[in-house]
Protein backbone atom coordinates (compact mmCIF):
# COMPACT_ATOMS: atom_id res chain seq x y z
CA UNK A 1 0.00 0.00 0.00
CA UNK A 2 2.90 2.36 0.74
CA UNK A 3 4.25 1.85 -2.78
CA UNK A 4 0.80 2.48 -4.25
CA UNK A 5 0.32 5.65 -2.19
CA UNK A 6 3.76 6.89 -3.21
CA UNK A 7 2.99 6.34 -6.89
CA UNK A 8 -0.28 8.21 -6.53
CA UNK A 9 1.42 11.12 -4.78
CA UNK A 10 4.05 11.32 -7.50
CA UNK A 11 1.29 11.14 -10.10
CA UNK A 12 -0.25 14.27 -8.61
CA UNK A 13 2.74 16.34 -9.75
CA UNK A 14 2.00 16.28 -13.53
CA UNK A 15 -1.72 16.72 -12.79
CA UNK A 16 -1.09 19.87 -10.75
CA UNK A 17 1.35 21.15 -13.37
CA UNK A 18 -1.22 20.68 -16.13
CA UNK A 19 -3.89 22.46 -14.06
CA UNK A 20 -1.48 25.31 -13.40
CA UNK A 21 -0.69 25.67 -17.12
CA UNK A 22 -4.35 25.68 -18.17
CA UNK A 23 -5.41 28.08 -15.40
CA UNK A 24 -2.50 30.43 -16.10
CA UNK A 25 -3.25 30.47 -19.82
CA UNK A 26 -6.98 31.06 -19.42
CA UNK A 27 -6.42 33.68 -16.74
CA UNK A 28 -4.15 35.76 -18.99
CA UNK A 29 -6.28 35.15 -22.10
CA UNK A 30 -9.23 37.01 -20.57
CA UNK A 31 -9.15 40.72 -21.52
CA UNK A 32 -8.33 43.12 -18.70
CA UNK A 33 -5.98 43.16 -15.78
CA UNK A 34 -5.80 43.66 -12.02
CA UNK A 35 -5.73 47.46 -12.31
CA UNK A 36 -8.53 47.98 -14.81
CA UNK A 37 -10.97 50.50 -13.37
CA UNK A 38 -13.47 53.03 -14.61
CA UNK A 39 -10.73 55.64 -14.35
CA UNK A 40 -7.70 54.10 -15.99
CA UNK A 41 -4.23 54.61 -14.58
CA UNK A 42 -1.78 56.76 -16.52
CA UNK A 43 0.37 54.65 -18.89
CA UNK A 44 3.58 55.32 -16.93
CA UNK A 45 1.96 54.42 -13.60
CA UNK A 46 0.50 51.24 -15.12
CA UNK A 47 3.90 50.29 -16.53
CA UNK A 48 5.56 50.85 -13.13
CA UNK A 49 2.99 48.68 -11.33
CA UNK A 50 3.28 45.87 -13.86
CA UNK A 51 7.08 46.00 -13.63
CA UNK A 52 6.88 45.81 -9.84
CA UNK A 53 4.86 42.58 -9.94
CA UNK A 54 6.57 41.10 -12.99
CA UNK A 55 3.53 41.38 -15.25
CA UNK A 56 5.57 43.12 -17.94
CA UNK A 57 7.41 39.87 -18.70
CA UNK A 58 6.23 37.28 -21.25
CA UNK A 59 3.57 34.91 -19.95
CA UNK A 60 5.17 31.59 -20.95
CA UNK A 61 8.25 32.00 -23.16
CA UNK A 62 9.89 34.97 -24.90
CA UNK A 63 10.61 33.15 -28.18
CA UNK A 64 11.63 29.71 -29.35
CA UNK A 65 15.13 30.92 -30.25
CA UNK A 66 15.73 32.38 -26.80
CA UNK A 67 14.22 29.23 -25.28
CA UNK A 68 16.61 26.97 -27.21
CA UNK A 69 19.64 29.08 -26.38
CA UNK A 70 19.02 29.72 -22.71
CA UNK A 71 16.82 26.86 -21.45
CA UNK A 72 19.68 24.50 -20.69
CA UNK A 73 21.69 27.21 -18.94
CA UNK A 74 18.92 28.83 -16.90
CA UNK A 75 15.15 28.94 -16.78
CA UNK A 76 13.57 31.65 -18.93
CA UNK A 77 12.47 34.78 -17.09
CA UNK A 78 8.70 34.52 -17.69
CA UNK A 79 5.64 34.98 -15.52
CA UNK A 80 4.71 31.28 -15.47
CA UNK A 81 8.19 29.99 -14.74
CA UNK A 82 8.66 32.52 -11.95
CA UNK A 83 5.31 31.61 -10.42
CA UNK A 84 5.99 27.86 -10.52
CA UNK A 85 9.45 28.22 -9.00
CA UNK A 86 8.07 30.42 -6.22
CA UNK A 87 5.16 28.00 -5.62
CA UNK A 88 7.59 25.09 -5.24
CA UNK A 89 9.27 27.07 -2.47
CA UNK A 90 5.88 27.63 -0.81
CA UNK A 91 5.37 31.21 -1.99
CA UNK A 92 1.98 31.61 -3.71
CA UNK A 93 2.48 35.32 -4.27
CA UNK A 94 0.44 38.26 -3.05
CA UNK A 95 -2.99 39.67 -3.74
CA UNK A 96 -2.86 42.68 -6.03
CA UNK A 97 -6.20 44.03 -4.80
CA UNK A 98 -5.79 43.39 -1.06
CA UNK A 99 -2.78 45.55 -0.24
CA UNK A 100 -0.13 42.93 -1.10
CA UNK A 101 -1.55 40.47 1.39
CA UNK A 102 0.03 37.00 0.98
CA UNK A 103 -2.21 34.56 -0.85
CA UNK A 104 -1.36 31.83 1.67
CA UNK A 105 -2.82 33.95 4.49
CA UNK A 106 -6.00 34.60 2.48
CA UNK A 107 -6.46 30.89 1.77
CA UNK A 108 -5.74 29.91 5.38
CA UNK A 109 -8.30 32.36 6.72
CA UNK A 110 -10.92 31.41 4.15
CA UNK A 111 -10.47 27.65 4.40
CA UNK A 112 -11.27 27.71 8.12
CA UNK A 113 -14.74 29.02 7.39
CA UNK A 114 -15.25 26.93 4.25
CA UNK A 115 -14.09 23.79 6.05
CA UNK A 116 -16.49 24.45 8.94
CA UNK A 117 -19.47 24.83 6.65
CA UNK A 118 -18.32 22.00 4.38
CA UNK A 119 -17.71 19.46 7.14
CA UNK A 120 -21.11 20.18 8.67
CA UNK A 121 -22.73 19.81 5.26
CA UNK A 122 -20.81 16.56 4.70
CA UNK A 123 -22.03 15.09 7.99
CA UNK A 124 -25.63 16.10 7.27
CA UNK A 125 -25.46 14.80 3.68
CA UNK A 126 -23.92 11.47 4.69
CA UNK A 127 -26.21 10.76 7.63
CA UNK A 128 -29.46 11.86 5.98
CA UNK A 129 -28.58 10.45 2.56
CA UNK A 130 -27.57 7.03 3.90
CA UNK A 131 -30.60 6.86 6.22
CA UNK A 132 -33.05 7.68 3.44
CA UNK A 133 -31.24 5.38 1.01
CA UNK A 134 -31.41 2.42 3.41
CA UNK A 135 -35.09 3.03 4.19
CA UNK A 136 -35.91 3.40 0.51
CA UNK A 137 -34.13 0.17 -0.47
CA UNK A 138 -35.58 -1.90 2.37
CA UNK A 139 -39.11 -0.63 1.63
CA UNK A 140 -38.89 -0.86 -2.15
CA UNK A 141 -42.04 0.17 -4.05
CA UNK A 142 -43.74 1.38 -0.87
CA UNK A 143 -44.98 4.89 -0.16
CA UNK A 144 -41.82 5.48 1.86
CA UNK A 145 -39.69 4.52 -1.13
CA UNK A 146 -41.64 6.85 -3.40
CA UNK A 147 -41.33 9.69 -0.88
CA UNK A 148 -37.55 9.23 -0.58
CA UNK A 149 -37.12 9.06 -4.36
CA UNK A 150 -39.22 12.21 -4.77
CA UNK A 151 -37.08 13.96 -2.14
CA UNK A 152 -33.88 12.89 -3.91
CA UNK A 153 -35.21 14.00 -7.29
CA UNK A 154 -36.22 17.38 -5.91
CA UNK A 155 -32.88 17.86 -4.15
CA UNK A 156 -30.93 16.99 -7.28
CA UNK A 157 -33.09 19.12 -9.59
CA UNK A 158 -33.24 22.43 -7.71
CA UNK A 159 -29.95 24.40 -7.96
CA UNK A 160 -28.45 25.32 -4.61
CA UNK A 161 -28.60 29.06 -5.29
CA UNK A 162 -32.31 28.80 -6.12
CA UNK A 163 -32.89 26.84 -2.92
CA UNK A 164 -30.88 29.43 -1.00
CA UNK A 165 -32.98 32.28 -2.37
CA UNK A 166 -36.20 30.43 -1.52
CA UNK A 167 -34.98 29.87 2.03
CA UNK A 168 -34.08 33.54 2.38
CA UNK A 169 -37.52 34.62 1.16
CA UNK A 170 -39.28 32.20 3.52
CA UNK A 171 -37.25 32.37 6.72
CA UNK A 172 -35.85 35.90 6.49
CA UNK A 173 -38.36 38.02 4.58
CA UNK A 174 -41.64 36.45 5.67
CA UNK A 175 -41.01 34.62 8.97
CA UNK A 176 -38.05 36.71 10.25
CA UNK A 177 -36.56 33.64 11.90
CA UNK A 178 -33.06 33.52 10.42
CA UNK A 179 -30.50 36.13 9.35
CA UNK A 180 -29.96 36.40 5.64
CA UNK A 181 -26.16 36.49 5.67
CA UNK A 182 -22.97 36.91 7.65
CA UNK A 183 -20.46 35.02 9.77
CA UNK A 184 -20.14 37.24 12.84
CA UNK A 185 -17.55 36.90 15.61
CA UNK A 186 -16.27 33.44 14.68
CA UNK A 187 -14.79 31.26 17.42
CA UNK A 188 -11.76 29.17 16.44
CA UNK A 189 -12.02 25.52 17.47
CA UNK A 190 -9.02 23.50 16.31
CA UNK A 191 -9.04 24.20 12.54
CA UNK A 192 -12.67 25.26 12.41
CA UNK A 193 -14.24 28.71 12.64
CA UNK A 194 -17.73 28.67 14.13
CA UNK A 195 -19.91 31.83 14.12
CA UNK A 196 -21.26 33.09 17.42
CA UNK A 197 -24.78 33.18 16.01
CA UNK A 198 -25.69 29.58 15.14
CA UNK A 199 -28.68 30.78 13.11
CA UNK A 200 -26.27 31.98 10.42
CA UNK A 201 -25.43 28.33 9.70
CA UNK A 202 -28.93 27.00 9.07
CA UNK A 203 -29.81 28.25 5.58
CA UNK A 204 -26.31 27.86 4.05
CA UNK A 205 -26.12 24.37 5.51
CA UNK A 206 -29.46 23.33 4.01
CA UNK A 207 -28.71 24.88 0.62
CA UNK A 208 -25.21 23.37 0.44
CA UNK A 209 -26.14 19.86 1.58
CA UNK A 210 -29.33 19.38 -0.47
CA UNK A 211 -27.71 18.07 -3.66
CA UNK A 212 -25.07 15.84 -1.95
CA UNK A 213 -27.81 14.36 0.25
CA UNK A 214 -29.92 13.47 -2.78
CA UNK A 215 -26.89 12.11 -4.63
CA UNK A 216 -25.74 9.90 -1.74
CA UNK A 217 -29.30 8.70 -1.13
CA UNK A 218 -29.68 7.52 -4.75
CA UNK A 219 -26.29 5.77 -4.72
CA UNK A 220 -27.04 4.00 -1.41
CA UNK A 221 -30.45 2.88 -2.64
CA UNK A 222 -29.09 1.52 -5.92
CA UNK A 223 -26.20 -0.28 -4.19
CA UNK A 224 -28.44 -1.90 -1.58
CA UNK A 225 -30.98 -3.03 -4.16
CA UNK A 226 -28.13 -4.70 -6.03
CA UNK A 227 -27.10 -6.81 -3.02
CA UNK A 228 -30.56 -7.20 -1.51
CA UNK A 229 -31.27 -10.56 -3.16
CA UNK A 230 -27.75 -11.99 -3.11
CA UNK A 231 -27.21 -15.51 -1.79
CA UNK A 232 -25.20 -14.43 1.24
CA UNK A 233 -28.02 -12.12 2.34
CA UNK A 234 -30.56 -14.96 2.13
CA UNK A 235 -28.13 -17.22 4.00
CA UNK A 236 -27.67 -14.65 6.78
CA UNK A 237 -31.42 -14.35 7.20
CA UNK A 238 -31.85 -18.11 7.10
CA UNK A 239 -29.42 -18.37 10.02
CA UNK A 240 -31.82 -16.28 12.08
CA UNK A 241 -29.70 -13.12 12.31
CA UNK A 242 -31.48 -9.95 13.31
CA UNK A 243 -32.48 -7.67 10.46
CA UNK A 244 -30.24 -4.81 11.58
CA UNK A 245 -27.26 -7.20 11.70
CA UNK A 246 -28.00 -8.41 8.17
CA UNK A 247 -28.29 -4.82 6.91
CA UNK A 248 -25.29 -3.32 8.68
CA UNK A 249 -22.82 -6.20 8.62
CA UNK A 250 -23.62 -7.93 5.35
CA UNK A 251 -25.60 -5.68 3.03
CA UNK A 252 -24.31 -2.21 3.78
CA UNK A 253 -20.66 -3.13 3.98
CA UNK A 254 -20.72 -4.79 0.57
CA UNK A 255 -22.75 -1.96 -0.91
CA UNK A 256 -20.55 0.77 0.55
CA UNK A 257 -17.84 0.75 -2.16
CA UNK A 258 -19.84 2.89 -4.64
CA UNK A 259 -20.90 5.17 -1.80
CA UNK A 260 -17.30 5.61 -0.71
CA UNK A 261 -16.33 6.43 -4.29
CA UNK A 262 -18.69 9.40 -4.46
CA UNK A 263 -17.92 10.59 -0.92
CA UNK A 264 -14.38 11.60 -1.90
CA UNK A 265 -15.26 14.22 -4.53
CA UNK A 266 -18.32 15.31 -2.53
CA UNK A 267 -16.18 15.89 0.58
CA UNK A 268 -13.58 17.82 -1.41
CA UNK A 269 -16.28 19.98 -3.01
CA UNK A 270 -17.97 20.76 0.31
CA UNK A 271 -14.84 21.34 2.40
CA UNK A 272 -13.15 23.66 -0.10
CA UNK A 273 -16.25 25.84 -0.23
CA UNK A 274 -19.20 26.40 -2.51
CA UNK A 275 -18.59 29.55 -4.54
CA UNK A 276 -22.25 30.36 -5.09
CA UNK A 277 -23.48 29.64 -1.57
CA UNK A 278 -20.71 31.61 0.12
CA UNK A 279 -21.26 34.53 -2.24
CA UNK A 280 -25.04 34.38 -1.80
CA UNK A 281 -24.96 34.35 2.00
CA UNK A 282 -21.93 36.69 2.30
CA UNK A 283 -19.79 34.04 4.01
CA UNK A 284 -16.11 35.07 3.93
CA UNK A 285 -14.78 31.68 2.89
CA UNK A 286 -12.40 30.64 0.17
CA UNK A 287 -15.22 30.37 -2.38
CA UNK A 288 -16.27 33.99 -1.92
CA UNK A 289 -12.66 35.12 -2.14
CA UNK A 290 -12.31 33.19 -5.39
CA UNK A 291 -15.37 34.86 -6.91
CA UNK A 292 -14.08 38.31 -5.96
CA UNK A 293 -10.61 37.53 -7.30
CA UNK A 294 -12.06 36.55 -10.70
CA UNK A 295 -14.03 39.77 -11.04
CA UNK A 296 -10.99 41.77 -9.91
CA UNK A 297 -8.47 39.82 -12.07
CA UNK A 298 -6.48 39.09 -8.91
CA UNK A 299 -4.10 36.59 -10.49
CA UNK A 300 -2.39 35.44 -7.30
CA UNK A 301 -5.61 34.50 -5.49
CA UNK A 302 -7.02 32.81 -8.61
CA UNK A 303 -3.96 30.61 -9.03
CA UNK A 304 -3.62 29.87 -5.33
CA UNK A 305 -7.27 28.89 -4.88
CA UNK A 306 -7.27 26.74 -8.02
CA UNK A 307 -4.14 24.82 -7.04
CA UNK A 308 -5.39 24.42 -3.48
CA UNK A 309 -8.69 23.02 -4.72
CA UNK A 310 -6.86 20.61 -7.05
CA UNK A 311 -4.67 19.34 -4.19
CA UNK A 312 -7.71 18.77 -1.96
CA UNK A 313 -9.58 16.85 -4.69
CA UNK A 314 -6.56 14.67 -5.47
CA UNK A 315 -5.94 13.99 -1.77
CA UNK A 316 -9.60 13.12 -1.20
CA UNK A 317 -9.55 10.61 -4.06
CA UNK A 318 -6.35 9.06 -2.70
CA UNK A 319 -7.86 8.70 0.78
CA UNK A 320 -10.95 7.06 -0.73
CA UNK A 321 -8.82 4.56 -2.66
CA UNK A 322 -6.85 3.66 0.48
CA UNK A 323 -10.08 3.29 2.47
CA UNK A 324 -11.33 0.62 0.07
CA UNK A 325 -9.08 -1.89 1.84
CA UNK A 326 -10.73 -1.17 5.18
CA UNK A 327 -14.25 -1.57 3.80
CA UNK A 328 -13.52 -4.60 1.60
CA UNK A 329 -10.57 -6.79 2.73
CA UNK A 330 -10.58 -8.54 -0.65
CA UNK A 331 -9.06 -5.44 -2.25
CA UNK A 332 -5.27 -5.37 -2.33
CA UNK A 333 -2.80 -2.89 -3.76
The rounded distance, in Å, linking the Cα atoms of 63 and 91 is 27
57 with 123, same domain?
no
- Given a contact cutoff of 8 angstroms between Cβ atoms, the answer to whether 49 and 84 are in contact is no
Whether the pLDDT of residue 327 is over 80: the answer is no
Higher pLDDT: 69 or 42? It is 42
Mean pLDDT of the chain: 82
Whether the pLDDT of residue 252 is over 80: the answer is no
Strand residue runs (E) in 215-327: none
For residue 41, give its domain range: 2-88
Q: 4-31: string of b/e by CB count within 10 Å (b at 16+)?
A: eeeebeeebeeebeebbeebbeebeeee
Average pLDDT over every residue of 50-58: 80
The tens digit of pLDDT for each residue in 264-292 reads 778 877 877 678 888 888 888 888 888 88
Higher pLDDT: 148 or 76? It is 148
Tell me, what's the pLDDT at 325? 72
pLDDT band per the 50, 70, 90 thresholds, residue 61: low
- Given a contact cutoff of 8 angstroms between Cβ atoms, the answer to whether 272 and 114 are in contact is yes
pLDDT band per the 50, 70, 90 thresholds, residue 100: confident
pTM above 0.75, yes or no: yes
CATH code (residue 192): 1.10.3720.10
Domain end residue (candidates: 29, 64, 88): 88
Average pLDDT over every residue of 120-130: 90
252 with 138, same domain?
yes
Whether the pLDDT of residue 71 is over 70: the answer is no
pLDDT band per the 50, 70, 90 thresholds, residue 76: low
140 with 79, same domain?
no
List, as one string, the DSSP characters of 116-164: HHHHHHHHHHHHHHHHHHHHHHHTTTSHHHHHHHHHHHHHHHS-HHHHH
Whether the pLDDT of residue 118 is over 80: the answer is yes
206 with 234, same domain?
yes
96, part of any domain: no
Whether the pLDDT of residue 309 is over 80: the answer is yes
311, part of any domain: yes
21 with 154, same domain?
no
Domain end residue (candidates: 65, 88, 111): 88
The count of domains in the chain is 2
pLDDT band per the 50, 70, 90 thresholds, residue 200: confident
Count Cβ atoms below 10 Å from residue 92 Cβ, excluding itself. Answer: 22
Amino acid sequence: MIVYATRRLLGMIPVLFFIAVVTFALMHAVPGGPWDREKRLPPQALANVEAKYGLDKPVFAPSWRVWEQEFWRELPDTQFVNYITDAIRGDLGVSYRQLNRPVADILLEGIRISATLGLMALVVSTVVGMAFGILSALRQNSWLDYACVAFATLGASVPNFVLGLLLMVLFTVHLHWLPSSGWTNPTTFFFLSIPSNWKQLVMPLIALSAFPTAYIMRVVRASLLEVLHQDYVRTARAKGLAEHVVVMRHMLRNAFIPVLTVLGPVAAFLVTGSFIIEYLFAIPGIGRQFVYSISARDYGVIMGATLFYAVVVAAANLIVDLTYVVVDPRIRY
